[in-house]
Homo-oligomer: A and B are copies of this chain.
């Protein structure tokens, strides 16, 4: 062996951005959503566990592991609302995909972009199953770094391009408007959350404050809407008034995790929820009537990261995309696997 390491593929932020641009954002989201859909359909094959979370005064640090018996993945992700004031991102992430048979890591990937992509793909996938078929108009409350990805995902998967949007921050609104200009969206800048949701078929809430907020209150929500609740995603952080949750047919990713982190942390432990995979697999009914409110109480789940890493790993094997990764020397490969000691002296 002329190399004394086992190369691990590495897709950093530059290569990931270039790769997604090359594939095209809408195509990437559509393809990624089909990976997520496929993985949710084989839910029973996964070794699932709630994420590990270390909560600190400034934010949360999480590790999200999962395995299907062939591949293992985990994501490192933080959530630090105050970062923004220091010019840093609220959420950054990276992930690793490994081979279960050997335990060797195969792919290290940035996942700040990856998380934005998989979150939006999952939101739109859930809405495809849960929203009314004739949904045409979406409200977005919270125009932070996830908002444009949500807009693109709903356009890509549901054909929704009619947006009513609101943020308390003028700069965020301006950024959103600029980013989606000329992309075939019809955007109405609303002056309040209430104005944004008026007449919307789908309501996406994606605010970042780490507290119990009331982004949506009960009187704002009419019958038949689908709520895509993204921002209520850790203990003490919710966006919806409790009575809205109580009125809704609620869908979650992993019940055990969502009871701790989702909007349903406001409800008692017997409040009924359905896991999304059951609907995708056809084992449970999604929306039952045109009039009911459906709520996808999304907190983000390791399976979606697994799907993303699988998607990237497959993509960079494709001859068209092999330029979009590097190899790094993360793993030793001594000539004799028991001889790590003499490896030390080989460099």
Known: A116-B340, A344-B20. A101 touches B58 (CB 8 A): yes
Instruction: Assess the B52–A339 pair: CB atoms within 8 A.
Output: no
A114 to chain B, nearest CB (A): 10
A313 to chain B, nearest CB (A): 17
Instruction: Assess the B96–A76 pair: CB atoms within 8 A.
Output: yes
Instruction: Assess the B92–A78 pair: CB atoms within 8 A.
Output: no
Bitwise, A285-314 to B at CB < 8 A (1) or not (0) is 000000000000000000000000000000
A347 at the interface (CB under 8 A from B): yes
- Enumerate chain B residues within 8 angstroms of A90, measured Cβ to Cβ: 337
Which of B61, B101, B116, B341 makes the CB contact (< 8 A) with A103? B61
Interface of chain A residues 124 through 140 with chain B (CB within 8 A): none
- Enumerate chain B residues within 8 angstroms of A47, measured Cβ to Cβ: 54
Interface of chain A residues 21 through 38 with chain B (CB within 8 A): 21, 25
A328 at the interface (CB under 8 A from B): yes
Known: A21-B345, A76-B74, A347-B21. A88 touches B329 (CB 8 A): no
Instruction: Assess the A13–B54 pair: CB atoms within 8 A.
Output: no
Known: A5-B12, A330-B110, A337-B88. A63 touches B54 (CB 8 A): no
Name the segment of A141-149, A156-164, A232-240, A260-268 touching the other chain.
A141-149
Chain B residue nearest to A112 in the complex (CB): B332
- Enumerate chain B residues within 8 angstroms of A96, measured Cβ to Cβ: 76
Bitwise, A327-339 to B at CB < 8 A (1) or not (0) is 0111111101111
Which of B54, B60, B328 makes the CB contact (< 8 A) with A328? B328
Instruction: Assess the A14–B18 pair: CB atoms within 8 A.
Output: no
Instruction: Assess the B21–A332 pair: CB atoms within 8 A.
Output: no
Chain B residue nearest to A110 in the complex (CB): B330
Interface of chain A residues 60 through 77 with chain B (CB within 8 A): 60-61, 63, 65, 67, 69, 72, 74, 76
Name the segment of A79-87, A217-225, A274-282 touching the other chain.
A79-87
Chain B residue nearest to A176 in the complex (CB): B341
A120 to chain B, nearest CB (A): 10
Instruction: Assess the B104–A92 pair: CB atoms within 8 A.
Output: yes
A105 at the interface (CB under 8 A from B): yes
Instruction: Assess the B332–A13 pair: CB atoms within 8 A.
Output: yes
- Enumerate chain B residues within 8 angstroms of A113, measured Cβ to Cβ: 332, 340, 343-344
- Enumerate chain B residues within 8 angstroms of A175, measured Cβ to Cβ: 336, 338-339, 342
- Enumerate chain B residues within 8 angstroms of A84, measured Cβ to Cβ: 337-338
A214 at the interface (CB under 8 A from B): no
Known: A101-B58, A104-B88. A340 touches B78 (CB 8 A): no
A265 to chain B, nearest CB (A): 21
- Enumerate chain B residues within 8 angstroms of A18, measured Cβ to Cβ: 347
A251 at the interface (CB under 8 A from B): no
A40 at the interface (CB under 8 A from B): no
Known: A74-B76, A76-B96. 8 other contacts (CB 8 A): A4-B13, A5-B13, A14-B347, A61-B98, A92-B103, A92-B331, A94-B331, A171-B336
12 pairs across A/B with beta carbons < 8 Å? A18-B347, A21-B344, A52-B63, A56-B67, A56-B100, A61-B98, A89-B333, A89-B334, A145-B337, A172-B338, A175-B338, A328-B328
